[in-house]
Amino acid sequence: MLIALGTESHDQAHIAMTGISLDLPEDLSNSLTDLAKKKGQSASSMAMDVLRDYIEHEKTLIAQIEHAVKQAHEGSFASDEQARRCAPGALARMRIEWLAKALKNLEDEANYIALENPKAADDVRMLFLRADIKPI
């Protein structure tokens, strides 16, 4: 399937866009067409929505990585010695907070994967279940 993305009409106003065409493998094309029909959209409109969401997701991820690298270069992180001198339990609380954020990020990523491929998202969830993490 060849998808051509061009001018889109939104609330009676035309939004000019640069044209682009994509050659899609048949299975991806069929999935896109089926999903678009179920949502009452054209395949082109659905493709634009997916690309827009993906680009926004990637931009956010890159910004977060760049921010973390900048903090590291500026020395914004505590040294190991500073961390050891923290109040008792503070380091453990910090690690728990970081772990909670990491797990939330993994959950968000699994949900994002599910938008594109529910089977792959199920595989990610199974990895969580098989991790067999036991509390201390």
What pLDDT is recorded for position 37? Answer: 92
Evaluate whether 115 touches 53 at the Cβ level (below 8 Å).
Answer: yes
* DSSP, res 75: T
What pLDDT is recorded for position 101? Answer: 82
CA distances from 7 to 11, 22, 45, 111 (A): 13, 16, 10, 30
* Residue-level pLDDT, tens digit, the chain, 136 residues: 555 555 444 444 566 777 778 888 899 889 999 999 999 999 888 888 888 999 999 998 888 888 888 877 777 766 667 666 766 677 778 778 888 888 788 778 778 788 888 888 778 777 777 776 665 5
Which pTM does this prediction carry?
Answer: 0.47
User: Where do the H-state alpha helices sit in the chain?
Assistant: 26-39, 43-74, 80-84, 90-116, 118-130
Domain ranges for the chain, please list them: 1-77, 88-136
What pLDDT is recorded for position 9? Answer: 46
What pLDDT is recorded for position 128? Answer: 72
Helix (H) or strand (E) holding 20: strand 20-23
Evaluate whether 107 touches 99 at the Cβ level (below 8 Å).
Answer: no
- Using the Cα atoms of residue 40, residue 28, residue 116 and residue 18 in order, give the sign of their dihedral: negative
What pLDDT is recorded for position 64? Answer: 87
